Structure 1
């Protein structure tokens, strides 16, 4: 079996994202794969419903700009060009599937917090990505800094 050639790394840009990126970098280095980074932002209207009597477009744009800057910082030293750094509005699992398919990825790497109880019932991005991906998915168990 040959190694991976094109890896999409889904990052939530939390403190733990560095653990996901480190694991993906190791795999890419071993297999000579190129990496792409993705951060998906759910539209604020999804989170708050359409009932907010104010224009959230400026706030949404600020969130996207901050995410782009964080991806730039995360990619430093990894030789990931800006054209392979994606900040997308939408539902995370759906958009990760779309990006992976459009860019011909053969591996998706995401973080998994291993939540339990109510958070597990509500589902997780990692679970959504796993069930519907057209390629391999690696869910990296991340640990909070206090663990």
Structure 2
């Protein structure tokens, strides 16, 4: 088995949804592969009154990941990571869990399309284990999609 425990970072963005799909595909290769789903709640607005919606959203996403963990055939569980540095939290979680692969989206909700996001970049640079970056599929009208169709 080429990996035994996979950390999957999920923030609700399209690339992170793709990361969930990829991780489940990897898990489908061998039910002994353990999946660790992680969502980061960035703590930057605490005490301002803005934390209520952030906490509710983080809890909602975490609950969804817990439900996914119960549905997949692999051993799986979900973490809600809280802190100020998402990349550091993900790297620490991967280390603490003994993961040998990290799967994440190319950019998060705030990322600029076409560029590797700051969290993804930091994880790739800081990770001692392999990192698989999931990208969005090109949009139907984009130049990349047109080139891809012409190549077929």
> Which band: TM-score by shorter chain?
0.7 to 0.9
Do residues 22 (structure 1) and 21 (structure 2) align?
yes
Do residues 132 (structure 1) and 131 (structure 2) align?
no
CA RMSD, 1 decimal: 2.7
Alignment of 1:23-102 (within 5 A): 23-31=22-30, 32-45=32-45, 54-75=48-69, 77-79=71-73, 84-90=77-83, 91-102=85-96
Contact 2:14 2:136 (8 Å CA) reproduced: no
In the aligned structure 1, how far is the partner of 2:75 from the partner of 2:53? 26
TM normalised by structure 1 equals: 0.74
Contact 1:13 1:70 (8 Å CA) reproduced: no
1:141/1:15 CA distance change after superposition, 3 Å = closer
Contact 2:36 2:78 (8 Å CA) reproduced: yes
- Structure 1 residue runs without a partner (length 5+): none
Q: Which aligned runs of 4 or more in structure 1 are off by greater than 6 angstroms?
A: none
- The count of corresponding residues between Structure 1 and Structure 2 is 134
TM normalised by structure 2 equals: 0.72
Q: Quote the offset at 1:20 in angstroms.
A: 1.3
In the aligned structure 1, how far is the partner of 2:118 from the partner of 2:20? 19
